Amino acid sequence: MDKKNFHFYYGLVLVAIGLGVFYRIPQVMLQVETIEFFSKKLLIVKSCFYILGSLLVLAGVIRTYKNFK
């Protein structure tokens, strides 16, 4: 596998992982609510999860776009 194909597939994996983070946020937030320390900071935790997912998707899209450029 050459470097160009590796970067393309790595970008696709990053996008898939980012979308998986978006898919899992509602289930994980139910578990996070049970932790006493995070019960008052749910908005911050949820926003961090969404930022993480969006950064993963963005990095994957950029990497795939640069591969075709």
Give tens-digit pLDDT for 15-53: 999 999 999 999 999 999 999 998 889 999 999 999 999
18 class by beta-carbon count within 10 Å (0-12 exposed, 13-18 middle, 19+ buried): buried
pLDDT at position 39 is 84
At 29, list the tokens.
């937030």
pLDDT at position 50 is 97
Give the residue among 16, 25, 1, 21 at the shortest CA–CA distance from 63: 16
Integer Cα distance of 58 and 47 in angstroms:
16
Tell me how many domains the chain contains: 1
| Host domain of residue 30 | 3-68
